[in-house]
Structure 1
Amino acid sequence: MTIDVVSANGSGCPLGTAAATVSPDNKAFTISYSEFTAKVGADSGAADFRKNCQLGLNVNVPQGYTYAIASVDHRGYAHLERGAKATHSSYYYFQGERHTSKTNRNYTGPFDDDWQRTDTFGVSSLSFLPCGEKRYLNVNNELRVNAGRSDKRKISFITMDSTDGNLDTVYHVAWKRC
């Protein structure tokens, strides 16, 4: 399997700030973000409360096989003041397909730590790329922060980013013979 990020659109992934790598066993791929942070409070801009990243991924699979996203490991960091809330939403779908897998996770302050979550899709809900088709896998992640009743002079944020580059999103694939 090989993978290329053919498009990266959104306020959470300006050009050149998202990258994809494939695991040596071809059972997963990782998306790394370097500027994906939503924030409120202090010196935040009016549009900083919501960031999204829509990726178009060209996944090349061996002939005679197809794949589906089976699970996704999300990691990041959040600092939420008491009364603040954050949401991480994800959407996965193949170009031209109506079926969209979507997930949502909420965090409430006070919170100041790494966060991790795994989205798992059951066998009956796996959405395989139709055999022989060549379509992009679209992945859209969104981060939102709401200050709520928190002190607006203090910053609250959620990120899919880290200074050491170790907090990535890992996509596990299920293979099927055509």
Structure 2
Amino acid sequence: MTVGPIGVGRAITVALAVAMALSLPGSAQAEPTEAAATEAAPDAAIAIDVVAAAGSGCPPGTLRVIGNADNTGFRIRYTTFVAEAGGGADVADRRKNCQAALLVSVPAGWTFAVASAEYRGRLRLDSGATALHRTNYYWQGSSENNQEDHPFSGPASGAWRASDSAYALVYKPCNEQRILNVNTELRVDEGTSSRKNTISMSSSEADVETLFNFTWRRC
């Protein structure tokens, strides 16, 4: 799997798609009509291009996408994705978000869906403080939107992990370019705590990233 910046030619091709990608999901699109069985990932290389990324959690140049070498999924790493509250933290830092639009190019005759996701980060919450992690992901033009909230309560300190499985396997329509939207949010409420409380997904800390796992089938 290869990952790199989107080329000029492709950028022109998907310019309209990007505008749609950063909006709310639209009408549902049909899955591939053939109810083929799930298969092992194809051997041919795939590419993931970050078409756009925006939000207080991922300023320009702070989001990176890394594809798994075996084509089983990809990882997102953020450099400065931290929400904090209390202890003099700015009110604007209580909620951070990042909205990424990804263009995934696959070999002809193949399609995939996001089957599950794993999230890793770090937090420090005093007694009475709470935090929330939320990620939702969907194909451009699809009404299917996989989302699950992961709440945390203090006292807690150190690494956190969460995972979810897609309640609906929504396959990319065969032979079409579609944007995969990934929207992530972190929130903190200090509650009765007077100290600074944080939740983060910053890759400057060890073993912190988001992993999306694919399921593949032939068109």
Q: Verify same fold: TM over 0.5.
A: yes
1:18-167 to structure 2, matched below 5 A, reads 18-121=63-166, 125-151=168-194, 154-164=195-205, 166-167=207-208
SS where residue 93 of structure 2 aligns? coil
Name the one with the larger helix percent.
2
Unaligned runs of 5+ in 2: 1-45
CA contact (8 A) 2:77 2:203 kept: no
Q: Structure 1 residues 164, 149: CA separation in 2 closer, same or farther (over 3 Å shift)?
A: closer
Equivalent residues of 1:32, 1:165 under 8 A apart? no
Bigger Cα Rg: 2
Question: What TM-score do you get using the length of structure 2 for normalisation?
Answer: 0.77
1:132-162 per-residue CA deviation (whole Å, 9 max, x = no partner) reads 22111000000000111222xx100100114
Q: Is the 8 A contact 1:93 1:137 kept in 2?
A: yes
Q: How many Å separate the matches in 1 of 2:113 and 2:191?
A: 38
Structure 1's consecutive aligned runs of 4 or more residues displaced over 6 angstroms after TM superposition are: none
2:209 to 161, 168, 173: 168
More strand by share: 1
The one-letter amino acid paired with 2:126 is E
The unaligned stretches of length 5 or more in structure 1 are none
> Taking structure 1 as the reference length, what is the TM-score of the superposition?
0.94
CA shift digits 1:1-47 (9 cap, x unpaired)? 21111111100000000010111101011111000000001231111
